[in-house]
Amino acid sequence: EASLASGIPLEQIAKTLVFVDQDSKPLIAVVRADSTVSRHKLESSSHTKSVRIASDDVAEKVTGYPTGGIAPLGHKRKLPVYLDEKVLANEYVWCGGGTRTRLVKLKVKDIVGLVSPQICDISAP
């Protein structure tokens, strides 16, 4: 959606998704918009038995942002963040800007420096 509306190529957009583990603990996955999150890879990287996408209510409660506008940083609560290694191919990425209609352009190195994510392979093509 964001790519169509903005004209920005999918590989330059990072989507931030909230998952919950088997104990309902939230975690963040960040992947390029031309990929999806592999639950199996995320489970392996996060050392959890199972993960599932969080409900919109949970995602908003823990991040402070509405689904579709979640940024990879600045969350309401400190959460573990798993950044897909493909995101590192870009100097900049466009990502959720706090609302469903706003994107912000951030340097990938700034995201890494501010969030200290675990960088791993969590994407499925």
The residues, ordered by sequence, that sit 6+ positions from 35 with a Cβ below 8 Å of its Cβ are 84, 86, 123, 124, 125
Burial of residue 65 (CB within 10 Å: 0-12, 13-18, 19+) is: buried
Q: Bridge partners of 26? A: 20
Whether 81 maps to a domain, the answer reads: yes
SS3 88: helix
Nearest CA to 98 out of 58, 60, 65 is that of 65
Whether 35 maps to a domain, the answer reads: yes
Question: How many domains does one find in the chain?
Answer: 1
pLDDT string in tens for the chain (125-residue length): 554 566 899 999 999 999 999 999 999 999 999 999 999 999 999 999 999 999 999 999 999 999 999 999 999 989 999 999 999 999 999 999 999 889 999 999 999 999 999 999 999 97
pTM of the model: 0.93
The domain of 69 spans 2-119
